[in-house]
A and B are shown apart, each in its own frame.
Chain A
């Protein structure tokens, strides 16, 4: 058999779908022909690569429970709704989330060598990474266009400019190549009380986009790993391993009732630099100035 004759059977051969008679003839040719055998090999390795990509999809927490509940209820069960968290804190929560109430003193980030290593799926830092990854997956629609109910009582000027307010308060990280992309109110791990501000920044080069999350949530001491949390505002860093993909850096610091978290697929040293600027930006904005800006809207 010639290459031309064999060609239409190559894929079927590679996939084990040929009937025996045809199989023998075609595989005899392939064994002797380097061009055809390379095509077969490539076909098989593509199959393996795609199969691996399917296998690599992580299963969301609680999926099986929700499917079981749906079956019992006879209708679909709502997914955990991270993207429209109900704001439980007081009126100025949106601003308060992002801006510190008072900041007496703050420490610089710990050097990268003291970052704690965390395995995939382990601990609070991994829960942060999971939210970060899920938000990045739909970055294009991450921006929340709904207004939290508790802000509805504010002047309509503020409600109309909700997005504008967030953008104004978002730390400027352009010096690191990160541009502010969107803001939402997201939850970490579906925990009650772990919903708060989530800013997403994006940095693109060479067709690859890296995203950085800045969260501000009600205080979550679990983020300290094994060590108890000293109340000194110091930054803790983690390196969270992933089943597929590079490590993700997470940095955390607490200020009174708020925990701030930065999360991105960057090296620990880069994260340390980013955190310095994020903390500096937040340090600069006081509630007084913030309130003044709120009422200066056109």
Chain B
């Protein structure tokens, strides 16, 4: 029995199939290169590893491209998922935090939030510009699994569901890690905040 061809229409005979594939790959995937690199840098903490990660990511993406269904799954989450797989497989099992393997259900997450509710980082309003270096250091100091969630969340345009798909974990896990990452950042940064005193930002129309 012949395997079903995934293409819905036959390839255009006047255009060599290789170049139309590579044009499509470029339009769909390569356009996210800068973003993937930036996440790789913030994730790995160094530019050299980041470039290695990015090359490997796009190599794998290119190889898997004919199996990729754009309509079902956005290109950006797909690439970021490959990036994370490459990152964690390079670091090896030893690098994975032993406490974080279990998936967390939404109920567990709710219970967690009851036990350890969100708290404010600073007395006044936090001036993030002033703590730019400290924020970078604090993010770098997080366990990679927490850092991943924080970075994907910070992009601003991935839903919790998409983040859970990228990281291949339950949504409750995403929310829990986000919460814990944030609490840890908060603990680190509130020390700085107390030390330096808080500058109030000018009131912005809400």
Chain A interface (Cβ < 8 Å from any Cβ of B): 4, 7-8, 10-12, 15, 17, 38-39, 41-43, 45-51, 53-55, 57, 59-60, 63-64, 66-68, 70-71, 74-77, 79, 134, 137-138, 208
Cross-chain contact B54 with A43 (CB below 8 angstroms): no
**B133: chain A residues within 8 A (beta carbon):** 208
Cross-chain contact B114 with A67 (CB below 8 angstroms): no
Task: State how many angstroms separate the Cβ of B111 from the closest Cβ of chain A.
Answer: 9
**A70: chain B residues within 8 A (beta carbon):** 55, 58-59
Cross-chain contact A138 with B120 (CB below 8 angstroms): no
**A76: chain B residues within 8 A (beta carbon):** 52, 55-56, 59
Query: Can you add 8 more A-B contacts, CB < 8 Å, to A42-B120, A76-B55, A79-B48?
Result: A42-B122, A46-B182, A47-B153, A50-B153, A51-B155, A53-B136, A53-B154, A66-B51
Closest 5 CB pairs of A and B: A50-B154, A49-B128, A8-B113, A57-B38, A7-B117
Q: How far is the CA of A57 from the CA of B47 in the complex (A)?
A: 9
Task: State how many angstroms separate the Cβ of A62 from the closest Cβ of chain B.
Answer: 10
**B160: chain A residues within 8 A (beta carbon):** 12, 15, 17
**A68: chain B residues within 8 A (beta carbon):** 30
**A66: chain B residues within 8 A (beta carbon):** 51, 55
Cross-chain contact A51 with B178 (CB below 8 angstroms): no
Task: Tell whether A77 pairs with B55 under 8 Å between CB atoms, given A7-B114, A49-B128, A50-B135.
Answer: yes
Q: How far is the CA of A77 from the CA of B117 in the complex (A)?
A: 48
B156 touches A (CB below 8 Å) = yes
B33 touches A (CB below 8 Å) = yes
Q: How far is the CA of A100 from the CA of B160 in the complex (A)?
A: 61
Cross-chain contact A60 with B51 (CB below 8 angstroms): yes
Task: State how many angstroms separate the Cβ of B45 from the closest Cβ of chain A.
Answer: 9
Interface of B is mostly: helix
For A53, give its contact among B118, B132, B153 (CB under 8 Å).
Answer: B132
For B114, give its contact among A8, A10, A53 (CB under 8 Å).
Answer: A8
Cross-chain contact A55 with B38 (CB below 8 angstroms): yes
Q: Within B119-133, which residues are at the interface with A (CB < 8 Å)?
A: 119-122, 125-126, 128-129, 132-133
Cross-chain contact B34 with A59 (CB below 8 angstroms): yes
Task: Tell whether A54 pairs with B120 under 8 Å between CB atoms, given A8-B110, A11-B175, A49-B128.
Answer: no
B76 touches A (CB below 8 Å) = no
B146 touches A (CB below 8 Å) = no
Task: State how many angstroms separate the Cβ of A22 from the closest Cβ of chain B.
Answer: 12
Q: How far is the CA of A55 from the CA of B48 in the complex (A)?
A: 18
**B114: chain A residues within 8 A (beta carbon):** 4, 7-8
The residue among A4, A63, A66, A67 with the most chain B CB atoms within 10 A of its own CB is A67
B187 touches A (CB below 8 Å) = no
Cross-chain contact B41 with A63 (CB below 8 angstroms): no
Q: How far is the CA of A39 from the CA of B119 in the complex (A)?
A: 7
Q: How far is the CA of A53 from the CA of B34 in the complex (A)?
A: 14
Cross-chain contact B113 with A7 (CB below 8 angstroms): yes
Task: Tell whether A42 pairs with B126 under 8 Å between CB atoms, given A47-B153, A47-B156, A54-B38.
Answer: yes
Contact pattern, B 34-66, Cβ under 8 Å of A = 1, otherwise 0: 100111011000111001101110110010000
Q: How far is the CA of A75 from the CA of B114 in the complex (A)?
A: 49
Task: State how many angstroms separate the Cβ of A21 from the closest Cβ of chain B.
Answer: 16
The residue among A4, A48, A54, A63 with the most chain B CB atoms within 10 A of its own CB is A54
**B128: chain A residues within 8 A (beta carbon):** 45-46, 48-49
Cross-chain contact A64 with B182 (CB below 8 angstroms): no
B205 touches A (CB below 8 Å) = no
Q: How far is the CA of A79 from the CA of B179 in the complex (A)?
A: 37
